[in-house]
Amino acid sequence: MSLATLLAFERPPIDWHAIAPELTLLVVGSLITLADLIWTERIRPLMPTLAGAGLLATLIPILTLAVDGTDRVMFGGAYVIDDLSLVLKALFLIAGYLVVLLSVDYIRNGDYHENEYYSLLLSSLLGMVLLASSRDLITMFMALELLSIPAYMLAGWRKGGATSNEASIKYYLMGVFASAIMLYGMSLLFGMAGSTAFDDIRVALAGPDPSGMAILGVLFVLIGFSFKVSAVPFHTWAPDTYEGAPTPVTAFLAVASKAAGFVALLQLVYVAFPTREDVVEPFFWIMAALTMTVGNLLALRQTNIVRMLAYSGVAQGGFMLAPFAVVGDAPEQSIKAVVTYLIIYVFMNLGAFAVVLAVAARTNSGEISSYSGLFHRSPGLAVAMTVFLAGLAGIPPVSGWFAKFLIWNALLDASSPQGSLLAVVVAVNAVIAFGYYGRIMREMWMSDAPEVTEPHFTVSRALKAAIVLTIIATLAFGIYPQWAARFGDISTSLAL
């Protein structure tokens, strides 16, 4: 290449407004690292405040973009800002803010590296925000790695703790293995389409008689992301990682990281693979049925609450996978169900983790038995936990029922025998789930408090704020489900 052609290179036009959220997050993340280098000890107590403020500031460009409302396509179609991606970005940022609230006291009292913790959290969130817009194999891969690599480190944040080390290495090895499988699938898709853009892949995949390479490529990519959303049989890392990692990190992985996996699946299934529903539908049917059933059955026999929430998260992931099994017959209802479920799930599950953190800060125990008689010791926490558990179990008027209702709606709207059969599986599993959520409620309300006990609980301000915010969201979405459904309706544009 001659110098003249190099000099003739012109930067493609960049829509700065469209990437303002990403830039804001990047700047905040870099600035807090820089601030720590300059002011060291003096600025460290401010770190969670700065990180939280940065996350809220990132919501401003997202709001202005939402008000503007036009779809923006950039970098030759590799990066798309539409209503759905804005909703998901906002969801990731709010989840990130709640995780910061959960982390404040845990990270400070544990004497961990405060600044690095929040920088890594922000960079992982940046990966999620990028993922919500990616419409290209390279962009999607980079976004996925940007969100995963900091998460591997966060899982091992208690450096001296053997369980935290173990959590980290298991998450790391499974995650890297999964992304290698996913990349092999991506290379096959690239070989078939001759392009990395999802639009070209969709066109190349169309046709009645796909090549074996195309099917293998689709399956490998879907399997790679099944690890991320901890779908059975690729869930084996999840319980150990969740139990061993610091609890705020567990909340982050169980909620934000899992939501990111589902967002990637949505983009792939609706933009890249809609013409191959004959491969996608049976794959997700089997995955969803297995994930729900295995997750629920294993959750029943857990004695540690974090581990139980991990398996319950696996089962909830199964519910969210179910609408993917009918994407061909009911595309709009399916995407609406998944997005609404994600929004509702984020608040319920983060709330449950906030209560777990508040109780563990006092009792230093993650055992379910340490919740006995919680109502007598701390009525507020017991009521809050009951609301979140009722939400996860799907008892009206708490929001979870509406999420499950939309899943059934999508499955039955498909009016196919497979869809109806899966609806039955979902119903059976929803009943099984009452078993373990109910056990904790009974423990809190019916059992007597243990002999040696603290008279009362003090809950830190940050945790209180997190619990109040999540409880408001959980109840509001349950009583006024149209608010959550409104975001689901926005997302159906992807299905057209």
Nearest distance in Å: CB 160, another protein: 7
Scanning 92-100, 191-199, 274-282, 350-358 for contacts with another protein by CB under 8 A, the matching segment is 191-199
Per CB under 8 A, contacts with another protein among 278-307 are 298, 301-302, 307
Nearest distance in Å: CB 317, another protein: 19
Q: Is 170 in the site for another protein (CB under 8 A)?
A: yes
Q: Peptide bond preceding 233: is omega within 30 degrees of 0, i.e. cis?
A: yes
- Residue from 176, 219, 412, 475 touching another protein (CB under 8 A): that is 176
CA distance 337 to 423: 13
Q: Is 52 in the site for another protein (CB under 8 A)?
A: no
Smaller CB distance to another protein: residue 142 or 215? 142
Per CB under 8 A, contacts with another protein among 413-432 are none
Smaller CB distance to another protein: residue 35 or 149? 149
Nearest distance in Å: CB 325, another protein: 27
Q: Is 105 in the site for another protein (CB under 8 A)?
A: no
CA distance 422 to 283: 13
Scanning 173-181, 283-291, 326-334, 345-353 for contacts with another protein by CB under 8 A, the matching segment is 173-181
Scanning 125-133, 162-170, 289-297, 362-370 for contacts with another protein by CB under 8 A, the matching segment is 162-170
Scanning 53-61, 171-179, 431-439, 444-452 for contacts with another protein by CB under 8 A, the matching segment is 171-179
Nearest distance in Å: CB 411, another protein: 31
Q: Is 6 in the site for another protein (CB under 8 A)?
A: no
Per CB under 8 A, contacts with another protein among 200-259 are 239-240, 243-244
Nearest distance in Å: CB 88, another protein: 23
Structure-token pair, residue 83: 């209503």
Q: Is 373 in the site for another protein (CB under 8 A)?
A: no
Scanning 169-177, 370-378, 394-402, 464-472 for contacts with another protein by CB under 8 A, the matching segment is 169-177
Q: Contacts with another protein: how many residues (CB under 8 A)?
A: 43
Closest CA to 426 of 449, 408, 446, 401: 408
- Residue from 92, 152, 402, 408 touching another protein (CB under 8 A): that is 152
Nearest distance in Å: CB 473, another protein: 31
Answer whether 471's CB lies under 8 Å from 382's CB.
no
- Residue from 196, 429, 474, 491 touching another protein (CB under 8 A): that is 196
Rounded to 5°, the CA angle 289-295-298 comes to 135
Q: Which amino acid is at 178?
A: A
Nearest distance in Å: CB 173, another protein: 6
CA distance 96 to 101: 9
Smaller CB distance to another protein: residue 82 or 243? 243
Q: Is 190 in the site for another protein (CB under 8 A)?
A: yes
Smaller CB distance to another protein: residue 184 or 405? 184
Q: Is 264 in the site for another protein (CB under 8 A)?
A: no
Nearest distance in Å: CB 164, another protein: 9
Smaller CB distance to another protein: residue 301 or 461? 301
Smaller CB distance to another protein: residue 243 or 332? 243
Per CB under 8 A, contacts with another protein among 62-101 are none
Q: 3-state SS string over the chain?
A: CCHHHHHCCCCCCCCCCCCHHHHHHHHHHHHHHHHHHHHHHHCHHHHHHHHHHHHHHHHHHHHHHHHHCCCEEEHHHCEEECHHHHHHHHHHHHHHHHHHHHHHHHHHHCCCCHHHHHHHHHHHHHHHHHHCCECEHHHHHHHHHHHHHHHHHHHCCCCCCHHHHHHHHHHHHHHHHHHHHHHHHHHHHHHHHCCCEHHHHHHHHCCCCCCHHHHHHHHHHHHHHHHHCCCCCCCCHHHHHHHHCCHHHHHHHHHHHHHHHHHHHHHHHHHHCHHHHHHHHHHHHHHHHHHHHHHHHHHHCCCEHHHHHHHHHHHHHHHHHHHHHHCCCCHHHHHHHHHHHHHHHHHHHHHHHHHHHHHHHHHCCCEHHHHCCHHHHCHHHHHHHHHHHHHHHCCCCCCHHHHHHHHHHHHHHCCCHHHHHHHHHHHHHHHHHHHHHHHHHHHHHCCCCCCCCCCCCCCCHHHHHHHHHHHHHHHHHHHCHHHHHHHHHHHHHHHC
Q: Which amino acid is at 26?
A: L
- Residue from 39, 68, 191, 282 touching another protein (CB under 8 A): that is 191
Per CB under 8 A, contacts with another protein among 298-357 are 298, 301-302, 307
Nearest distance in Å: CB 76, another protein: 10
Residues 439-458 as x/- pattern, contact with another protein by CB under 8 A: --------------------
Q: Peptide bond preceding 45: is omega within 30 degrees of 0, i.e. cis?
A: no
User: What φ, ψ does residue 451 adopt, rounded to 5°?
Assistant: -55, -60
Residues of this chain that interact with another protein (CB under 8 A) are 137-138, 141-142, 145, 149, 152-153, 156, 159-160, 162-163, 165-170, 172-173, 176-177, 180-181, 183-184, 186-188, 190-191, 194-196, 239-240, 243-244, 298, 301-302, 307
